[in-house]
């Protein structure tokens, strides 16, 4: 059994790995930019607002929100190389004045209290070992009335088959995923009122198919590079097949949640 610190470090290191970028492509979450836009609409983002993107990865969401919704964005990620990659890509996109990145942990966000109109967190809340503390941190940095928007992996109430509970499964955002109702309850306990939920199970099925297809091409074109990066393609393909089966059986899905910080409440982080 891994400790929370080991899980977080493994997750950050895996997503900072160049080979992962090859396998995942441009988007690190199911639904891609289309689902990010849907989330932005549900958050009612508009020009001049201040947004925090927690577990921002290479920063695609942060850049999209700044470019299309004219907001400023502070992205936070636990991976040093991920933050460096996000910063470089944002400079190349000419968005450095509107988007900046910070190295930090979602359970201890290096951003001030009551400062943000919106917090977004895509495909990452499920990996945080202490979800209650992360939710309290979202509430702390939001201004009263501000909104948090999460898109994430969900699981059925009965849980997952044992083989999907490994450390690799954790990194793949599955092992510690929760039912949608449980995410909602965690946010509510942190002083956030859930105002909207919707399911997007087809998005995760599509992402699994895309990863499978990319892996099969990479196996032929970049096997040495993947091996060098420590990626066991055959093992990942077996794992992808298991995940696809679990999605087809309705055990794994994907959902969008929006919650609002209650206007009157003072919120303290754990």
> Residues interacting with ligand SAM, by CB under 6 A?
8, 11-12, 15, 28-29, 55-57, 60-61, 76-79, 82, 105-107, 122-124, 127-128, 173
28 or 254: whose CB is closer to ligand SAM?
28
Query: Nearest approach, Cβ of 59 to ligand SAM (angstroms)?
Result: 8
Beta pairing class for 142-155 and 192-199: unpaired
Determine the residue with CB nearest ligand SAM.
57
Query: Nearest approach, Cβ of 6 to ligand SAM (angstroms)?
Result: 12
Q: Report the phi/psi class of residue 91: left, alpha or beta, with left for phi > 0 and alpha for psi in -120 to 50.
A: alpha
* Strand order across the beta sheet in which 192-199 lies: 99-103, 72-77, 50-54, 116-122, 142-155, 252-261, 192-199
Query: Nearest approach, Cβ of 58 to ligand SAM (angstroms)?
Result: 7
47, 67, 90, 104, 124 from 95: Cα distances, Å: 15, 8, 5, 21, 24
158 neighbors 252 (Cβ within 8 angstroms): no
117 or 176: whose CB is closer to ligand SAM?
176
166 or 262: whose CB is closer to ligand SAM?
166
116 neighbors 217 (Cβ within 8 angstroms): no
Query: Nearest approach, Cβ of 117 to ligand SAM (angstroms)?
Result: 18
27 or 72: whose CB is closer to ligand SAM?
27
């Amino acid at each position: 059994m891994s400790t929370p610190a080991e899980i977080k470090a493994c997750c950050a290191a895996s997503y900072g790995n160049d080979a992962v970028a090859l396998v995942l492509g441009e988007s690190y979450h199911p639904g891609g930019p289309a689902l990010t836009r849907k989330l932005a609409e549900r958050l009612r983002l508009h020009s001049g607002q201040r947004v925090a993107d927690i577990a921002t990865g290479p920063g695609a969401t942060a850049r999209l929100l700044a470019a299309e919704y004219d907001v400023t964005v502070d992205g936070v990620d636990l991976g040093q190389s991920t933050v460096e990659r996000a910063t470089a890509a944002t400079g190349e996109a000419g968005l450095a004045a509107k988007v900046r990145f910070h190295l930090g942990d979602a359970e201890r966000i290096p951003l001030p209290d009551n400062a943000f109109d919106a917090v977004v967190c895509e495909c990452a809340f499920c990996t945080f070992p202490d979800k209650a503390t992360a939710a309290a941190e979202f509430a702390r940095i939001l201004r009263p009335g501000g909104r948090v928007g999460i898109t994430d992996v969900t699981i059925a109430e009965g849980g997952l088959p044992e083989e999907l509970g490994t450390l690799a499964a954790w990194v793949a955002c599955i092992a510690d995923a929760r039912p949608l109702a449980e995410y909602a309850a965690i946010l509510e306990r942190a002083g956030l009122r859930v105002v909207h939920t919707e399911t997007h199970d087809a998005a995760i099925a599509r992402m699994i198919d895309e990863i499978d297809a990319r892996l099969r091409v990479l196996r032929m074109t970049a096997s040495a590079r993947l091996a060098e990066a420590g990626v066991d393609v055959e093992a990942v393909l077996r794992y992808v097949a298991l995940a696809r089966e679990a999605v087809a059986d309705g055990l794994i899905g994907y959902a969008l949640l929006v919650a609002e910080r209650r206007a009157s409440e003072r919120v303290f982080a754990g």
